Structure 1
C-alpha cells in the first residue's frame, strides 16, 4: 500500500530544480515537524555521547588503548543487536508517532539517571549499564525516523529529503558533540562538566519527545498489514514472543525479495566496519600520539577538530546529493562516494599531520554520508511501508554489528600509537571492491520492487 501524500504541495517534483524542490520541501509543514524531532534528538545524542567519551577516554586517570577503546565502543552498541529486531516489530505494529514520543521521554529519564549516578560517584558498571540502555533506545528511534520520512515527503523528493534530514541530524549530533568537547577542553575533563552535558542532553531529549507527540496519531504510519499465518493466537508472554518472531521473519523475507535494498545494506556493512576501525584508531591517535599522554585536554581538542571536519563533510554531502543521487544515477552516486571514502581512508593511515587528518575527516564525512543518503533512498523506495520499520531496524542492526566487529578487530589491527599504516591501504582497497560489487548489483533489476 502506498503511503498517502504529505500535507502541502503533493506534486512529484522530479523535474524541478534543486532550489525549487528545496523550497517546496521546506514548505511542507509535517516535514519540518519531523525534522525538528530529529534535530533536537540528535543534538542531544551528540552531547550525551561526547560526555561519555570525555568520561571514559579522556579523563586524566585513564590511558586509552586500542583494546580499551574497542571494548567500550562495542559494549555501547551491543544491546541494540539484541533488541533491534523486536523494535522493528514495534515500529510496524504501533503508531510511530507514539514510539518516537515516548521513546524520547524514556531517553530523557535514562540520561538524567546517568547524570545523577555520575554526580554521586557511581562506578563504571552502573554508568555503563545506564548508558547502554540510553543508546539502545536511541538506535530504535533513528530507525523510526527513517521509516516515517516517506509518510511526510512526496516520492519524487525522497533523495532531497534524505540529503537534508539525516545529514542535518548528523551535523546536529556533531555540533552537540563538538560543543561538549570544546567546553570540556576549556573547563577540564572532570565529572562536573560531564554531569552538566548529560543534564542538557536529558532536557533536550524531553523536548524532542513532546514535539513528536504533537503529530496526529496515525500520520507517521505504519500501514496495516496482515500478520504471517500459522501459530495459535493468545495473550500470554509465549504467544506474544511467537507472534513477534513471525513478524521479524516476515520482515527478513520481505527484504530478501528486494535485492536492491539488500545490496544497499551490504554497502552500509562495509563502510561501518571500516569507519569503526578507523574511529578506534583516531581516538587512540589523539590520546597517545597527537598530544602528550599527560595532557588529555589537548588530545580532546584535536579530536574536536576532527569531529567538526566530519560534520562539515556530512553537510557538503547534503548539498551535493540532490544533484548526484537522482533516481537514474543513485547507484553511480553510491559507488563514487565509496571511492571517495576509500581515498580519505588511505590518507588517515599515512599521516599524523593534523591538517591532513582534518581534510581526510572531511572527505570521510562526504563519502560516508553521501553513500548513506543513497542507501536510505534505495531502501525507502524498495520496501513497503508495512515492513519499513523492520527493514530500517535491520539496517541499524547491520550498522551496529559491523561496528562491533570492527571494534573487536581493532584489538588486533590498531597499534598502541593509533597509526593504521598498511591496514589503511587494505581498507581503501576494500572500499574500491565494494564499490565495484555494488555497481554490478545496481545494474540488475530489483526483484519485487515497485517504482515510486
Structure 2
C-alpha cells in the first residue's frame, strides 16, 4: 500500500479501542520482561565477583530459557481451553508475585539457587502469555488489519522490552552493579507485571476467545490434564502440518533464533571481556547500548513493515529482512567497535523483528481460531528450543573473548540462503483464509 495508505491504516488501527487495550497489556508486560531480564543479567553475568566465560553465559542462558521450552507448552494449551482474558490477567499477576519473591530473596541474601528458581518460575509463564497475546490479536482487529497490527504490536513489545532492559541496565551500571540495584530492577518488573494483569482483567469476559463451543473439554485430574495437554500439543503440530505455509514460515524463525542465540552468548562475553576492559560496570553499560540499538531496529521494523509487507509483497519483505539480519550478523561477529556493533545490532533488530512480523501474519492467516493457542504454543516451542540448542552449541564455538569470526560468516550465509530460497519460492509463504 502507498505511504499515505499506511498512515491511514495506522490511524484506523489506533482508533480501535480494543486493540489499544491489548497493546497496553503487551507494552506493560514486555517492558517488565526487559527490566526483569536485565536485573538477572546484572546479577549473573556482570557481578564483580563473577568472571563470565562462554560456558557460564551459555549455561545460564539455556537454563533461563528452559522453562519456556518445558513448561510453556503445558501452560500454553490453556489458551484454547480457558478464556484468554483470564490466562493473561492471572498469569501476569502471578508473575508479579513471583518477581517480588525473587527480589525479597535477593535482598535477604539468599543464594543463587533460590533466586534462580523464582526467576525460572517467572519466566515459565512468560512465553505462554506472549502466545496468548498473539492468539488474541485477531479477536480485536479485522482480518485486513492483521499485517499492520503484526507490524506494530510485537515490534512495539520488543521495543518496550529493549527499552525496559536498557533503562534498567543504565540504572544498574550507574549504581555500580550490586545486589541493591538488582533488587530494584526486580521490583520495577513486578510493578509492570501487576499493571499488565490489571489491564488484561478489564477486558469483557470471552472477548479474547476462544469461543466456548470451540474449546476442547476441560480435563479432570492431574493425569487427565497431562494426557490432554499432550494431545493438544500434538493437535497443534498436526494442524501446522495441514497449513504448510505456516510450517515453512516457522523454519525461518528457527534459523533466526539459532543464530541469535549464538550471537547473544558471544556479545555478552564480548561486553564483559573486551568492551568493558575488565570493568563489569563498563561491560554492562556497553550491553545497554547494544540492547538499545536492537530495540531501535525493532522499532524501525514496525514503521517499515506496513509498507514493505503490503498485499502481495509479503514474500519479498521477509526475504529482504533476512538479508538485513544476515548483514548485521556478519558485522557483529567481526567488529569490536562499540559504534559499529550498535549499527549491526540495529540491523539484527530490524531484520529479525521484520521477518517475525511477516511470519506472525502468515501463521495467523493460515490457522483456525480454535487452534491458534496451540499453534502459537508450537511456535514458541520452536522459538525457544532453537535458542537453547544454540546456547549448547555456543559452548563449542564461541571463543573466550566473544569474537565469533568465521562462525559469524557461516551464520550470515545461512540467512542469505534462506532469503534466496524464499525469493525463488522454495520456501512457501502463501496463506489460506482461516475459517
- Counting only pairs closer than 5 Å after superposition, residues 251-290 of structure 1 correspond to structure 2 as 251-290=236-275
CA distance in 1, matches of 2:427, 2:393: 30
1:8-46: CA deviation from partner (whole Å, max 9, x where unpaired): xxxxx9997011111110000000000100001111001
Summarize the Cα distance change of 1:179–1:17 in structure 2 as closer, same or farther, 3 Å threshold. same
- Counting only pairs closer than 5 Å after superposition, residues 387-402 of structure 1 correspond to structure 2 as 387-402=371-386
Are the aligned partners of 2:74 and 2:229 in contact in 1 as well (CA < 8 Å)? Answer: yes
Q: Aligned-pair distance for 1:209?
A: 0.3
CA distance in 2, matches of 1:318, 1:200: 26
CA distance in 2, matches of 1:107, 1:234: 25
Summarize the Cα distance change of 1:96–1:227 in structure 2 as closer, same or farther, 3 Å threshold. closer
Are the aligned partners of 1:80 and 1:397 in contact in 2 as well (CA < 8 Å)? Answer: yes
Q: Aligned-pair distance for 1:185?
A: 1.2
CA distance in 1, matches of 2:256, 2:249: 11
Establish whether residue 173 from structure 1 lines up as the match of residue 161 from structure 2: yes
Are the aligned partners of 1:14 and 1:156 in contact in 2 as well (CA < 8 Å)? Answer: no
Establish whether residue 250 from structure 1 lines up as the match of residue 235 from structure 2: yes
CA distance in 2, matches of 1:399, 1:318: 20
- Counting only pairs closer than 5 Å after superposition, residues 115-154 of structure 1 correspond to structure 2 as 115-154=103-142
Are the aligned partners of 1:263 and 1:438 in contact in 2 as well (CA < 8 Å)? Answer: no
The answer for the alignment partner of 2:319 in structure 1 is 335
CA distance in 2, matches of 1:14, 1:224: 40
Summarize the Cα distance change of 1:390–1:436 in structure 2 as closer, same or farther, 3 Å threshold. same
Are the aligned partners of 1:227 and 1:247 in contact in 2 as well (CA < 8 Å)? Answer: no
Q: Aligned-pair distance for 1:242?
A: 2.5
CA distance in 1, matches of 2:388, 2:203: 35
1:265-288: CA deviation from partner (whole Å, max 9, x where unpaired): 101100000011001000000000
Establish whether residue 413 from structure 1 lines up as the match of residue 397 from structure 2: yes
CA distance in 2, matches of 1:228, 1:39: 30
Q: 20, 28, 49: which one pairs with 1:40?
A: 28
CA distance in 2, matches of 1:227, 1:158: 23
1:300-336: CA deviation from partner (whole Å, max 9, x where unpaired): 1111111111110011111100011123111111111
Are the aligned partners of 2:77 and 2:229 in contact in 1 as well (CA < 8 Å)? Answer: yes
CA distance in 2, matches of 1:195, 1:235: 40
326-335 vs 279-288, greater mean Cα deviation: 326-335
The answer for the alignment partner of 2:433 in structure 1 is 450
Q: Aligned-pair distance for 1:88?
A: 2.7
Summarize the Cα distance change of 1:200–1:245 in structure 2 as closer, same or farther, 3 Å threshold. same
Are the aligned partners of 2:81 and 2:215 in contact in 1 as well (CA < 8 Å)? Answer: no
Q: Aligned-pair distance for 1:393?
A: 1.1
1:371-390: CA deviation from partner (whole Å, max 9, x where unpaired): 01001100110001100001
CA distance in 2, matches of 1:228, 1:207: 30
CA distance in 2, matches of 1:200, 1:346: 35
- C-alpha RMSD of matched pairs (Å): 1.9
1:381-412: CA deviation from partner (whole Å, max 9, x where unpaired): 00011000011111111111011001000001
1:336-374: CA deviation from partner (whole Å, max 9, x where unpaired): 100111111111111111111111001111100100100
The answer for the alignment partner of 2:280 in structure 1 is 296
- Counting only pairs closer than 5 Å after superposition, residues 10-409 of structure 1 correspond to structure 2 as 17-224=5-212, 235-293=220-278, 295-409=279-393
Gaps of 5+ in 1: 1-12
Establish whether residue 423 from structure 1 lines up as the match of residue 425 from structure 2: no
Gaps of 5+ in 2: none
Summarize the Cα distance change of 1:66–1:330 in structure 2 as closer, same or farther, 3 Å threshold. same
CA distance in 2, matches of 1:190, 1:408: 28
Q: Aligned-pair distance for 1:226?
A: 5.6
- Normalised to the residue count of structure 2, the TM-score between the two structures is 0.96
Are the aligned partners of 2:92 and 2:197 in contact in 1 as well (CA < 8 Å)? Answer: yes
Are the aligned partners of 1:174 and 1:308 in contact in 2 as well (CA < 8 Å)? Answer: yes
CA distance in 1, matches of 2:330, 2:145: 34
CA distance in 1, matches of 2:346, 2:137: 27
Summarize the Cα distance change of 1:158–1:399 in structure 2 as closer, same or farther, 3 Å threshold. same
Are the aligned partners of 2:214 and 2:370 in contact in 1 as well (CA < 8 Å)? Answer: no
CA distance in 2, matches of 1:14, 1:297: 46
Are the aligned partners of 1:258 and 1:383 in contact in 2 as well (CA < 8 Å)? Answer: yes
